[in-house]
Structures are given as structure tokens and as C-alpha cells.
């Protein structure tokens, strides 16, 4: 358990705590030297707020919710235009060679290939500047044309290609030596120009300094909050909240714990959400499978709309979420 997760489990939302109380809340003495840094990291992520010198509170995200719906992820007609802050999804595409074995075995699943209308609908429901993330098997001779075709569909729908980052599933290497066994691609698109997510510390500090407002020792988020208090604009830079990594190195869910053949770990989703969304925003997963992204959303203070067409997978996802999370689900 990370320091932030341990603090979040032991501290009461909206109740002030000191650094000394935070030290006492963490059981491992080896971790205590970095508690201050983790708290300030949590402030930047919207998990904690600074009340005064050396006093903090944990932000209450209990109002966040996840709606799990049994329905066709390709039918987004019930969603209004421009209401989704982010789409992260892994569709069961019809590529039997890439999908065979590992956690991409869709042998018993209703597979399909995207068409132009699929991306038109994604673009319709996304807010301007919002991110779309599509998972694919590592590009190979069998699927590279389809991946290129999807990028063209996205372009025609008004979505701009942003980046491709690999997910490395820990240290496991398949005996076949095929890279695809241990790696998947995450292709990032944005609706128009990427929105501004990263706080522009330099500009926010400058405008406060011009008004003789003290900024020494303040984090980027605290300077943004102070700017808002003085009715100043909060400056942000275009793109992700920080530079995307060259690879997401996150251990895959073990085979004995999976409830879905293409299940993704909660930790991977949490890292993704940190880069491309802000707290309290609404995330859509059209083909949710295990619904792990819903757990990640609740743990990071986001809301989620999850769609799953397969009745058995939907039932398993319901049971799995209720088992793992103590918060109520819609």
C-alpha cells in the first residue's frame, strides 16, 4: 500500500491533520521520511488541501459515483453531446491472431472491427480538448493495417492523434519471444487541440507576485487555489497533466484473479487518469469487462459510466466491484 493510499484509509475527509499526525498514521517507519513529499504530491492531484502552515485536509470524494450499465458500447445515443471528459476503452476487435492467448483471448466474445460511425459517436460525446485512449495489441504484421485504419477513422471524426505509449505488463516474457505477449499499445487522441491540464506554475506565480502576494513554499495547486481566491485566472498548459511516460510499466492481473480475459489492472487505470483527467470528471468505458476502471475512478475521485454488453461479464463485474469497494454503486 502506498503512503497516499494508507493516509486516505486512516484519515477523515475534511478533518484537519498535521504532519505529525500523518507520520503516526503510517505504519512503516521506512516510509515516514517521504510523507511530506507524498502529501504535497497529493495536493497537486487534488487529494489533499493545505489549510494553513503544516495543516492539511483530505478532500472528500464520497460524492463520486460509478454507473455500470448492461448495454451495447457502440450505441451511445443515450449520451448527450459534449458531456464526457475522457474515454478509455479496449474494444474486442476481430483479430484472432493478436487476440489468441494471454489476456487478449476473445475466443468466446462478440468481436468486431470499428467503422467510421464508431469514432463519429466518440467525438460527439467528448468535450472539446478531451482525451480518447484506445487499447490495441502490440502492432504486428497482422494488425498494423487495422490500427492505421482506426487512426484514419479518428481523423475523419475530428479527433487528433496525440501519442502512442506501450503498456508493459511487468517482467513476464513469453516463451515464444513475441513482444505482443507482454505489451499492449495505448493510442491517445484528443477532440481538437488537447485541453489544458498542467498548471502553468510560472504564470500563476508571476500574477500573484505582481500583487505582492507571498508564494514562497506553495505548490502549483496551492498557487492555483490562491489565484482563484483573488479572482485571478488559473493558467494551464496544453496537453496532459505532465509529460506522458515512454512506457507504463504495471504488473498485469494474475490469471487466478482475473474475471475477464482482457482485464487491465486498477493501478494502470489510476496512472492513466492522473495524466488525462481531473478530479470529479466523468470517464466513459464502452467495453468495460471487469470494470476495474470504475474502481480506479472512485479511488482517484472521478466519476465513471461503464458499458458492458455481455450479460455474464456484466454480472461478474457487478459482483467484483461490490466485493472490492466499500462505497455504494449506482
For 204-261, what is the HEC assignment? Answer: HHHHHHHCCCCCCCCCHHHHHHHHHHCCCCCCEEEECCCCCCCEEECCCCCCCCCCCC
pLDDT digits (tens, 9 = 90+) for 78-107: 999 999 999 999 998 765 554 444 444 444
Residues 230, 88, single domain; the answer is no
- Among candidates 164, 161, 183, which has minimal Cα distance to 172? 183
| The domain boundary residue, chosen from 205, 238, 271 | 238
Same domain, 272 and 177: yes
Q: Are residues 190 and 274 in the same domain?
A: yes
Rounded Cα gap, residues 105 and 262, in angstroms: 7
Asked if residue 283 has pLDDT above 90, the reply is yes
Per-residue pLDDT, averaged over 1-21, amounts to 74
Q: Is residue 330 part of a domain?
A: no
Q: Is residue 219 part of a domain?
A: yes
Structural domain of residue 30, as residue ranges? 3-58
Instruction: Mark whether 273 and 306 lie in a shared domain.
Output: yes
Does residue 329 fall inside a structural domain? no
Q: Based on the structure, what is the number of domains in the chain? A: 3
> How many other β-carbons are positioned within 10 Å of the β-carbon of residue 66?
25
For 39-57, what is the mean pLDDT? 72
Is the pLDDT reported for residue 271 higher than 70?
Answer: yes
Q: Say whether both 188 and 122 belong to one domain.
A: yes
CA distance 204 to 208: 6
Q: 12 with 74, same domain?
A: no
Average pLDDT, integer, range 21-46: 70
**100 and 31 within one domain:** no
* Same domain assignment for residues 111 and 201: no
* 272 and 156 in a common domain: yes
Residues 76, 207, single domain; the answer is no
pTM over 0.75: no
Give the CATH number for residue 146: 3.40.50.150
CA distance 241 to 221: 12
Average pLDDT, the chain: 81
List the CATH number of the domain containing 7. 1.10.10
Q: Are residues 247 and 318 in the same domain?
A: yes
Report, as an integer, the average pLDDT of 127-146.
91
State whether 137 and 262 are in the same domain: yes
Query: What per-residue confidence (pLDDT) applies to 328?
Result: 32
Amino acid at each position: 500500500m502506498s503512503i497516499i493510499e494508507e493516509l486516505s484509509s486512516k484519515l477523515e475527509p475534511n478533518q484537519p491533520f498535521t504532519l505529525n499526525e500523518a507520520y503516526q498514521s503510517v505504519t512503516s517507519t521506512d516510509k515516514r521520511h517521504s510523507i511530506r513529499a507524498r502529501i504535497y504530491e497529493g495536493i497537486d492531484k487534488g487529494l489533499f488541501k493545505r489549510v494553513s502552515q503544516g495543516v492539511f485536509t483530505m478532500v472528500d470524494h464520497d460524492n463520486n459515483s460509478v454507473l455500470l450499465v448492461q448495454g451495447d458500447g457502440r450505441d451511445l445515443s443515450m449520451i448527450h453531446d459534449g458531456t464526457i471528459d475522457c474515454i478509455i476503452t479496449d474494444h474486442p476487435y476481430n483479430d484472432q491472431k493478436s487476440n489468441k492467448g494471454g489476456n487478449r483471448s476473445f475466443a468466446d466474445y462478440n468481436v468486431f472491427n470499428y467503422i467510421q460511425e464508431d469514432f463519429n459517436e466518440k467525438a460527439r460525446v467528448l468535450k472539446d480538448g478531451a482525451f480518447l485512449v484506445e487499447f490495441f495489441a502490440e502492432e504486428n504484421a497482422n494488425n498494423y493495417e487495422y490500427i492505421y485504419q482506426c487512426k484514419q477513422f479518428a481523423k475523419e471524426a475530428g479527433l487528433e492523434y496525440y501519442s502512442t505509449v506501450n503498456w508493459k505488463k511487468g517482467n513476464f516474457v513469453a516463451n515464444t519471444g513475441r513482444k505482443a505477449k507482454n505489451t499492449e499499445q495505448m493510442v491517445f487522441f484528443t477532440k481538437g487541440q488537447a485541453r489544458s491540464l498542467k498548471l502553468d506554475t510560472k504564470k500563476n506565480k508571476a500574477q500573484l507576485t505582481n500583487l505582492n502576494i507571498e508564494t514562497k513554499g506553495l505548490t502549483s495547486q496551492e498557487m492555483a487555489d490562491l489565484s482563484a481566491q483573488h479572482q485571478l485566472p488559473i493558467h494551464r498548459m496544453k496537453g496532459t497533466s505532465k509529460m506522458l511516460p515512454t512506457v507504463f510499466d504495471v504488473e498485469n492481473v494474475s490469471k487466478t484473479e482475473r474475471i475477464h480475459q482482457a482485464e487491465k489492472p486498477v493501478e494502470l487505470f489510476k496512472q492513466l487518469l492522473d495524466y488525462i483527467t481531473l478530479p470529479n470528471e466523468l470517464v466513459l468505458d464502452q467495453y468495460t469487462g471487469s470494470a476495474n476502471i470504475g474502481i480506479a475512478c472512485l479511488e482517484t475521485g472521478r466519476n465513471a459510466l461503464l458499458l458492458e454488453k455481455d450479460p455474464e461479464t456484466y454480472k461478474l463485474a457487478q459482483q467484483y466491484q461490490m466485493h472490492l469497494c466499500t462505497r455504494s454503486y449506482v
